[in-house]
Amino acid sequence: MTVKAVKMPCTSANVYTKVPDGGWGWTVAFAFFVVEALTYGIIKSFGVFFNDLMESFDETNSRISWIISICVFVQTFTAPLSTVLSNRFGHRLVVMAGGLLVSAGMVIASFARSVVEMYVTIGVVSGLGYCLSFLPTVTILSQYFDKRRSLVTAVASTGECFAVFSFAPAITALKEQIGWRYSMLSVGVLQLGITACGSLLRPIVIREQEEVKAQPPEEPTETKYMLENEQTCTSIESIDSGVDITTSPSNVPGKTKAEPKSEEPKQHGQNPTDNNSTPPEPKTKLLDFSVMRDYSFICYAFFGLFATLGFFAPSLYIIPLSRSLGIGKDHSAYILSAMAIAEVFGRIFAGWLLNKKPIRKIYIELICVILLAVALVAFPFASGFWGLMICSVYFGFMLGTVAGTHIPLLAEDDVVGIERMSSAAGVYVFIQSLAGLAGPPLAGVLVDTTKNYSSAFYSCAAGMVLGAVFLALVRPCKTGLCHQQQQQQQVEESTAGPPPELPDDFIDMDIGKAENSGKGSDSVV
């Protein structure tokens, strides 16, 4: 059972003697659920505005897709900034500021008159707000849980899925009543809830409880004197034999108050209390780039780079694909909602599976990524409403197994560990920014060139396959690096040779000389 070391008010940090695996962490999990719904849930539901923006601004697929591309790029590119600000000002203030930026960008975008204004408002302003809102929330949630981290994070991340399930048909119906501009304005006002969730993110401090060693019972004074006499090879009756035995407490071991030797460090300018003083706590780095020297993290970062190509484009192009096959608006929205519901079960299943032992989590993630690539390839072969529905459900389930776990897996020892998770998450998401910027526009260019929406899903599948290759190298790099370091240490020890033999202790040598001289004197006598 977790024991709090210090009870603090609601505005202060939670101090625990160990990772609580609950407590206020459940409130943080709820906040993460809502933040997921109002960040990634809105991004994935943005496809309902796709055709409206093309008609209003008279633009192509690729130019409209740049709105989400810039948004995702800014969100991921500014991840190190989010880490620095969180370490400097705390997670609570950063998330609250991010909520204000998200809401402001979406509200201003509802009054935009050109696609370029959409690039600035939703792409830059809201994109920065998404980064400041999401990354600190998932980081502090990982700190509140240890044994149940995978399961809790996966369940809390289903807020994104519930948002897509509810927002896609709701926004579609709302557009029919008030138009897409006022619908986007309503979404921006709703996103102010991120600020309220940020106020719930109380920081956590883990302080190991100092074990108080029980003092041994004090021995009687007579026993101490006998022990002292045994050490000096005397007896109680040998007081007059020339051996000075002082029975004052100052000579009892462990009771020494003042000794002449204790003044020697002061004569040399040393403070005897320096050894007992508490060393100053090391300063926390605002951003630690040392993770870039870890080969396993580099491979994992490349996995995230290529896998991101398949995260957003399918949700963005599933409605245009269904419309191209002659499916109505309402049924297209149902396909997107079904994908979101399947993603909920995928996230929960992945969290439950990764919580099992002794299954290595990195291998489970690899299997899910491969199956996700298969789901992307299946989309071009679907025909009709039910064919797309089956593919969407399968894709949503596999997407949930990967999307809800790829960032929390950074806390595992196979990648970087919980100690460096905060900085690693910032660098990892920063590397993902390139794919977030290039993914949807690349799919849009392929669609405009081939006049077929199937090419967008093929490009996503190719990126997912490359991501699976790098993910498969994470574990070998981790173990291979350790073995390489051990071999290097062994080589250095062998080349250095055995340490030089030191002479025997000078006290033993003096004692041996004294014995020899004593024997010699006895023989003379």
* Domain definitions of the chain by residue range: 12-208, 287-492
Report how far residue 383's alpha carbon sits from residue 465's, in angstroms, rounded to the nearest whole number: 24
pLDDT band at 317 (very low <50, low <70, confident <90, very high): confident
Mean pLDDT: which of 220-224, 382-386, 423-427 is highest? 382-386
Whether 287-492 and 12-208 are alike in CATH topology: the answer is yes
- HEC letters along 28-82: HHHHHHHHHHHCHHHHHHHHHHHHHHHHHHCCCHHHHHHHHHHHHHHHHHCHHHH
Confidence check: pLDDT of 266 > 50:
no
Greater pLDDT, 80 or 196: 196
CATH architecture designation of domain 287-492 = Up-down Bundle (1.20)
Report how far residue 254's alpha carbon sits from residue 251's, in angstroms, rounded to the nearest whole number: 9
pLDDT > 90 fraction of the chain, expressed in percent and rounded: 12
**Residues 317 and 456: beta-carbon distance below 8 Å:** yes
Give tens-digit pLDDT for 95-137. 999 999 999 999 999 998 888 999 999 999 999 999 899 888 8
Nearest alpha carbon to residue 107 among 188, 190, 191 = 188
Give the DSSP per-residue string, 88-147: HH-HHHHHHHHHHHHHHHHHHHTT--SHHHHIIIIIIIIHHHHHHHHHHHHHHHHHH-ST
Residue 271's SS3 state is coil
Confidence check: pLDDT of 228 > 60:
no
Q: Which helix (H) or strand (E) holds 14?
A: strand 14-16
Report how far residue 113's alpha carbon sits from residue 454's, in angstroms, rounded to the nearest whole number: 31
pLDDT > 70 fraction of the chain, expressed in percent and rounded: 70
Greater pLDDT, 387 or 407: 387
Report how far residue 34's alpha carbon sits from residue 56's, in angstroms, rounded to the nearest whole number: 31
Question: Residue type at 416?
Answer: V
Check whether domain 12-208 has CATH 1.20.1250.20, yes or no: yes
Average pLDDT estimate for 249-267 = 44
Report how far residue 83's alpha carbon sits from residue 131's, in angstroms, rounded to the nearest whole number: 10
Neighbouring CB atoms inside 10 A of 377's CB total 17
Helix axes 79-89, 61-77, angle to 10 degrees: 40
**Residue partners of 298: CB distance under 8 A and separation at least 6:** 292, 477
Report how far residue 498's alpha carbon sits from residue 72's, in angstroms, rounded to the nearest whole number: 57
Give tens-digit pLDDT for 343-368. 888 888 887 887 776 667 788 888 88
Give tens-digit pLDDT for 448-466. 788 778 888 888 888 889 9
Confidence check: pLDDT of 274 > 70:
no
Distances (CA, A) of 153 to 18, 82, 144, 202, 469: 19, 20, 11, 17, 25
